[in-house]
Chain A
């Protein structure tokens, strides 16, 4: 199963972004594990179908309304 690690850089309300990550991962039926959870950097490891991982990345690049994502870095696991 494809896996990937993401680093989201920006200005975050960490709890809000974490909830957003969990909600979108559940909707897309992919596994998501949140690592570092900060006001400027959030790390998420995911596993699932590649198409769904890409949808997850797109959704999180927009994020919840109280967060601003400035950059997304993806590394294969």
Chain B
């Protein structure tokens, strides 16, 4: 992973006791939240047989692999192997882990040894939705910086700059933020949040506008490729 922090999910999209798979630069990751509320980001691969841990079950402060039930604690250390209940599990059986920060309603991850500062905190944001677009992150960013983000009324919210890893939209004050996740080559995830507490119909309208944006981004690329 490149240096720095990357958004992986809307924080409220990962409930305590659940897990989800995602990707960063094509690398498969599991995002899971233990019963105590702490979020974890790991390589999405059980060290036993390679099963995705995102298919597993969260039990208390551990996640258990779906395949043979190997249990891993919050540090990624294997703590129990059901087939060998009396085995003193060696410290070497461990999942690769990443640093995690929850800021501005987003779960961010960084390489375990990163020295990059954590993303900035930002209060009073309402999560709208995550959106997956079949376009490279640079193209999505360029399009958003050029045309803005569609607002609840359909009119574009102008791009207002980069704010601590989030793209801001709206004038004179930002009313919408988007975090761009480099999912894989040619695929980007957008995690969208609104400032304040918009009414339910506005949240639905923003979510719908995001769909329009996705179609525009993917359609524009298809037209450009057809013309090339």
Q: Which residues of A contact B (CB under 8 A)?
A: 26-29, 49, 51-52, 55
Contact = CB atoms under 8 A, between A and B. Distances in A.
A28 B81 CA distance: 13
Contacts of A26: 92
Contacts of A49: 87-88
B198 interface: no
A49 B90 CA distance: 10
Interface in B34-71: 47-48
Contacts of A27: 47, 92-93
Nearest to B88: A49
B42 to A, nearest CB: 16
A52 B87 contact: yes
Interface residues of B, number: 10
A26 B87 CA distance: 17
A12 B90 CA distance: 29
A29 B90 contact: yes
A29 B87 contact: no
Contacts of B88: 49
Contacts of B90: 28-29, 52
Contacts of A52: 87, 90
B87 A51 contact: yes
Given A28-B90, A49-B87, 12 more contacts: A26-B92, A27-B47, A27-B93, A28-B92, A28-B93, A29-B90, A29-B91, A51-B81, A51-B84, A51-B87, A52-B90, A55-B48
7 contacts: A26-B92, A27-B47, A27-B93, A28-B93, A29-B91, A51-B81, A52-B87
A48 to B, nearest CB: 8
B58 to A, nearest CB: 23
